[in-house]
Amino acid sequence: MVSIDKIRNKLRVITLCQDKLEQLKTYSEEEFLSDFRLTDSARHNLQISIEAMLDICNHLIARHSLEIPQSNAETFAVLCKHGLLNPEMQNTYTAMARFRNRIVHMYDDVDNRDIFHIVQKHLKDYHHFIDDIVRQLGSK
C-alpha cells in the first residue's frame, strides 16, 4: 500500500528546497558565482530535491510492484512508462537524475554556472513532478 504520509513528507522536503532555491534565483550571476554560500546552498538544495523525488519514485515502484530500475534515470522512466509521471517530462527527469549523480560522484566537475542556469531556468521542472505526484495522491 502506498504511504501517502511518506510521500507528502518527501513532497514537503522538495517544496522547502524549492523555496530556498527561489530565494537564490534573485541574485545576479556575478553575485551568485562569487559567493560560495550561494553556490553550495544551491547545489545542496538541488541534490536534496532530486533525492526526495527518487525516494518518492522508488516508493511508488515498490508499492505498485513495478519493474526494478537499474539506475536513477531509469527510476523516472518506469513511472513515466506506467503513467504515474507525465511521459513528456521523462527526458527532463533523466537529466535531473544524471545531474544528481554528477553532484554526488563528480562534484569537482560541476560548473557553478550550470548550477546558476538550473536555478534561473529549471525550477519549474520540480513543480511538474510535484503536480504529477499530487494528482496520483488525489486518485488514492
Tens place of pLDDT per residue across the chain (140 aa): 888 899 999 999 999 999 999 999 999 999 999 999 999 999 999 999 999 999 999 999 999 999 999 999 899 999 999 999 999 999 999 999 989 988 887 677 789 999 999 999 999 999 999 999 998 777 55
Domain with 112 in it: 4-138
| Backbone angles phi and psi of 22, in degrees to 5 | -60, -35
Q: Could you give the number of structural domains in the chain?
A: 1
Q: Which residues contact 58 (CB under 8 A, 6 or more apart)?
A: 69, 75
Q: Does the global pTM surpass 0.75? A: yes
**Which ranges in the chain belong to alpha helices (H)?**
4-24, 29-34, 36-63, 72-81, 90-105, 112-121, 123-138
Please say whether the beta carbons of 69 and 78 come within 8 A. yes
- 95 to each of 32, 74, 125, how far by Cα in Å? 23, 11, 11
Please say whether the beta carbons of 54 and 72 come within 8 A. yes
The CATH number that applies at residue 124 is 1.20.120.580
Residue 33 amino acid letter: L
